[in-house]
Every structure is written in structure tokens, then in C-alpha cells.
Amino acid sequence: MIVGVVGAGQLARMMIPAAVQLGIELRVLAEADGMSAQLAQTAVGDYRDAATVLEFARGVDVLTFDHEHVPQDVLRAVVDAGIRVAPGPDALLFAQDKREMRRRMSELGAPQPDWAPVDSDDDLQAFLDAHGGAAILKTAKGGYDGKGVRRVTSVTDARDWIDAAVSGEGPQLLVEELVDFTRELSQQLARSIRGEIVSWPLVETVQRDSVCAEVYAPARAGAGDARKRAAEAAEIAHLIAEGVGVTGVMAVELFETADGRVVVNELAMRPHNSGHWTIEGSTTSQFEQHLRAVLDLPLGTADMVRPAAVMVNVLGGPSSGRMEDVYANALAACPDVHFHSYAKTARPGRKVGHVTAIGDDVQRVADRAGVGARFFEV
């Protein structure tokens, strides 16, 4: 069994242990030498080039992804060559293009913010007029970790993006209502090629400066009926997974609103930062489950090993060098915490690793993970 992964970041890196365990051969197409998943690296090249990707994909049982940026024409060339791609281009489109995603969510009846495509000043003005004069403008493509998202109260605020979109030099735009949300949640599941679906518990993600900082599994109680909310989130994710035909792991990022509803924020069709806790915290990690799903193997149980798991991202890393340079102190202070280094050089704000703790009491678990992560702060 051979899985080819386009991209060699930490997500591909974290597939390595699962592949080693199951005896699956992993091949990685890296953008450059020395990337996070370099241990499994077998090729270096441009994922936007169909010939490069086709050459890499030759001989694999399935092609999958560390990121969602492979262009549709490249994906379709691989499919046309008779190579299995998971998730396929038809599904991946909805993780690549936010306008297409919002359109599809509307068709499926998934709860989401009011939204509209923006192709002109008038489109934006009309939306602002109808929504109290403020809204969230997004680029349909290329956004992540807060990039490609802007709060606007006038067409002037959007001048550069609209001009770029109209001229075709920038990505298309959409506008969404400001959601009065109290916190962010994430519902992850895996769907295999034959259509088996297994969901992890609903988790809570805490963002800092628009970047995921902490994940609580399961989501803390919050306001209202937690069990009802968990069931609703799982149902929404299930609806979407079948509606878009995703194969592999998918994360549905959700806003929880002040009035107790959940609405779809974004989709990710690959292992996701909100699921790193599953490595130690769930019977089947998101990385193993992704490999099973894209190889069309039966999926594993996604229950929790212990009642609580908390993951804290290491953002930036120590002021000089790598996480490993301060292991002596961190490991001594936290002998029951799990440290993950992506073998990246520290840089302000860069995700260079994460720390996970599991146990019975969520607050104690959070404290342990937090202490562990703080050793690596700049």
C-alpha cells in the first residue's frame, strides 16, 4: 500500500508515524528540501505543475494532500490518468473556493452566516446596507490563519481587493455577515471511499490573533445543552461530508452564536490543527484515520482514550533554535505531557510544534499542557 502526499509540512510529517505503524509506504512531494516531512520525502517539485504531480503520483495507490492548494486542472489531470485522488477534485473545490463552499452549504441547508458573492462595489454596498453597515469580506481563495479576511464598513475599505478582483489580478470575493459568536468549535470526521463515516467528539478551538492556539476535547460545556449541540454539529458535518463527497479527514469549523446556534465557518479537507489531540487522545488518530479513509480501509474507533485532552500550539518557538534546544527543562517539568516538534526553525508566529496532555479533569489537563507549551515561548 503506497500513499502519495502532496506537500511536506507538519501534516504530512504527522502521517509518518501512522504509516510506519500500519506498514503503509508514504511518499511525499515537497516544495523544497528540508521540509517538515523530509523523512518520507521522495520528490521535490512544484505542485502547480501537472507533469510534476503526475510523475510523483505514478505507482501510488492513492494521492492525498498536506494542503488544499493543488490547482483543479492538476487534480483533474491526475484523475484522468487513472490515479485515485482523495479527496477528489469535486470535493476539494469546496475547501479551495469559499464562494463555491457557501453556495454548496446553501444548497445543502447547512446553517451558515448570510453571505453574498462580491463582483462589484454595488454588491458589497447592498450587503452592507442590508446588514447594519458592517461585514466580513473574504477572498474566495488563498486565505488561511486570518489572511484573506477583512472587516469592512464601506466600499472604500475594500477598494484594493475589489479592484484586484475586477481586473482579474486578485482572487474573487465574498462577503459574510458579522456573526456574534461566543466561541469557535470544530467537528472532525473521516469518510472513506466506500462512504463509511466516523466522527470524533466536537472540540473547542481557542484562537489568538486568528491562529488556533488551544484545542479542548471534548468542547467545554458552554451555554445551553452540550449534548444537543454535539449531536447537531455531528449531524451538520455528516450532511456536508456526504453532500460534497469528501474522502479522507474533514474538519468543519463552526461558530457558536450568542443565541446558542452553530453555523459553518470554514471547511478543511485534510488532517487539521483542531485534531492534533487525537494522536494521544483518541483510539484512532486523525492521521491514521486519514490514511485508512483514502486507502478505503475500514475506519477505526474515534472515541477518547481518557475523558479530556487539551492541545496547545507552540507558536514562534524559542527565541533561538528549535524546540529541542529547551527540551531539558520542558521534559523535566512535564513528564506526563506529549511534546511534538515539527523540526522547524523558530520564527515569530510560526507553528513549530504542539503539546498535548490527556487525563480525567479538563482544567488540570489544560494546565499541564499550558505549562508544557510555555517553555517554548519566545
Smallest distance from a second copy to CB 318, Å: 12
Q: Is residue 369 within 8 Å of residue 356, measured between CB atoms?
A: yes
At residue 295's C-alpha, the angle toward residues 294 and 301, to 5°, is 80
**Is 177 part of any known ligand binding site?**
yes
Least distance between a second copy and beta carbon 278 (Å):
13
> In terms of CB distance, is 96 or 284 closer to a second copy?
284
169 known member of a binding site: no
By the 8 A CB rule, do 172 and 148 touch?
no
Closest to a second copy by CB, 25 vs 145, is: 25
242 is in an annotated binding site: no
Q: Measured between alpha carbons, how far apart are the two ends of the chain, in Å?
A: 42
- C-beta of 81 vs 333, nearer to a second copy: 333
Contacts of 125 (CB under 8 A, 6+ apart): 155
Based on C-alpha coordinates, what's the Rg of the chain? 21
SS3 state of residue 322:
coil
As a whole number of angstroms, the distance between CA 196 and CA 213 comes to: 31
- Closest to 20 (Cα-Cα) out of 270, 288, 300, 344: 288
At closest approach, how far in Å is the CB of 94 from a second copy?
A: 28
141 is in an annotated binding site: no
Is 235 flagged in the annotation as binding? Answer: no
Shortest Cβ 292–a second copy spacing (Å) = 7
- Choice between 9 and 89, CB closer to a second copy: 9
Crossing angle for the helix pair 98-108 and 89-96, nearest 10 degrees?
110
CB nearer a second copy, residue 224 or residue 298: 298
Signed CA dihedral, 104, 108, 114, 116: sign only: positive
- Which of 41, 96 has the CB closer to a second copy? 41
Q: Which of 232, 252, 255 is nearest to 241 (CA)?
A: 252
Q: CB of 331: closest distance to a second copy in angstroms?
A: 4
Residue 133 or 321: which CB sits closer to a second copy? 321
Q: In terms of CB distance, is 232 or 280 closer to a second copy? A: 280
**62: which strand partners?**
3
C-beta pairs of 146-155 under 8 Å, 24+ apart in sequence: 146/209, 146/210, 146/211, 149/210, 151/178, 152/124, 152/128, 153/128, 154/128, 155/121, 155/124, 155/125, 155/128
CB atoms within 10 A of CB 349: 13
Cis geometry, peptide bond prior to residue 218 (ω within 30 degrees of 0): yes
Annotated binding-site residue? 262? no
To the nearest whole angstrom, how small is the minimum distance from the Cβ of residue 58 to a second copy?
A: 20
Binding site for a second copy (CB under 8 A): 1, 13-14, 16-17, 20-26, 39-40, 279, 283-284, 292, 297-301, 303, 305-306, 322-324, 327-328, 331-332, 335-336, 338-343, 353, 358
| 138 is annotated as contributing to ligand binding | yes
All three cell numbers of 220, joined, read 467545554
Minimum distance of a second copy from residue 122's CB (angstroms): 52
Minimum Å gap between C-beta 229 and a second copy is: 26
Which residues carry a binding-site annotation for ATP? Answer: 98, 138, 176-179, 184, 265-266
